[in-house]
Amino acid sequence: MTLARSIATTAAKATFIFGSVFSATAFSQQPATGAIRNVVLVHGAWADGSSWSKIIPLLEAKGLHVVCVQNPLTSFADDVAATNRAIDAQDGPVLLVGHSYGGAVITEAGNKEKVAGLVYVAAFAPDKGESAGSQSKPYGPTPGIAELRPLEDGFLVLTPKGIAEDFAPDLSPTEHSILTATQTPTQGSALGSPITEPAWRTKPTWFIVAANDRMISPKQETDSAKKMGARTLTLQSSHVPMLSKPSEVAAFIIEAAHAQKVGH
């Protein structure tokens, strides 16, 4: 049997086995019922899932099941789709957590039936018709914006100086190097895509304000939390409190998960 034929046969068997046991919507059609034990973490722009590396073990130590979305950052629609897939894969209610631009993503993806609550971490929280970019306009440019550099295909990258001085000034030089090495270029147009229906208008919300943020205005974060009526925690942190103050951020997420008892 040729290698190609062997692979095809194996794939066919796998399709039959899994197709017999699970329908295509076996997970996605389950509503949010019961206590929350699934936490889906959504990273922001110029980052990847490793943004949550210090949070994951703290949540898992409390018995929570944690999944990190790997946003492609190629478009807002692509990032929402990636988040939706992660939500659909969970076997029960989901607490959706978004950092920075990830806040815009969870604002849209949070409308999934399975999502029982939303946690914003130094994040955008646009209203209907707003985008991450348009929400920031009334607050003026922050220092970090000056360190964004465009690529030829419409993507943006953050300079090492921007990471060290604006994105994460309260982290060590070693962590700055890691953030620089792992950052994902972000399609600029993704920051301009409007929200169709803000999930925070119908779902319970929590918000962590980073008081020393140089990427998103702390005033914008505070105003967003007030507008949503979110339970709020203010930390003396840069734009990445999940890395600079992981214990406090994890405790807040755990509190949010325990606060929600949905369905019967």
How far is the C-alpha of 53 from the C-alpha of 57, rounded, in Å? 8
Percentages helix, strand, coil for the chain, rounded to the nearest 5?
Answer: 45, 20, 35
Domain membership of residue 123 (yes or no) is: yes
The pTM of the full predicted model, rounded to 2 decimals, is: 0.87
Least confident of 15-24, 32-41, 186-195: 15-24
Q: Is residue 18 part of a domain?
A: no
How many domains are contained in the chain? Answer: 1
Confidence at residue 21, expressed as pLDDT on a 0 to 100 scale: 32
CB 203 within 8 A of CB 117: yes
Any idea which of 12-26, 40-54, 210-224 has the lowest mean pLDDT? 12-26
Instruction: Reply yes or no on whether the pLDDT at 240 is more than 60.
Output: yes
Q: Is residue 14 part of a domain?
A: no
Domain extent, residue 124, equals 31-260
In a domain, 2, yes or no: no
What is the rounded average pLDDT of the residues 102-118? 98
Can you tell me the mean pLDDT for 79-85?
98
Residue 9 located in a structural domain: no
Beta bridge partners of 157: 149
Is the model's pLDDT at 223 over the cut of 60?
yes
The edge-to-edge listing of strands for the beta sheet with 186-187 is: 148-150, 155-158, 186-187
Q: Does 25 map to a domain? A: no
Secondary structure element (H or E) that encloses residue 96, with its range? strand 94-99
Among 253, 250, 240, which residue's Cα sits nearest to residue 123?
Answer: 240
Residue 17 within any structural domain of the chain: no
pLDDT class for 261, splitting at 50, 70, 90?
low
Residue 16 in domain: no
pLDDT the model gives residue 260: 67
CATH number of the domain that residue 230 is part of:
3.40.50.1820
What is the band of 34 on the pLDDT scale with cuts at 50, 70, 90? low
For the chain, give the mean pLDDT.
89
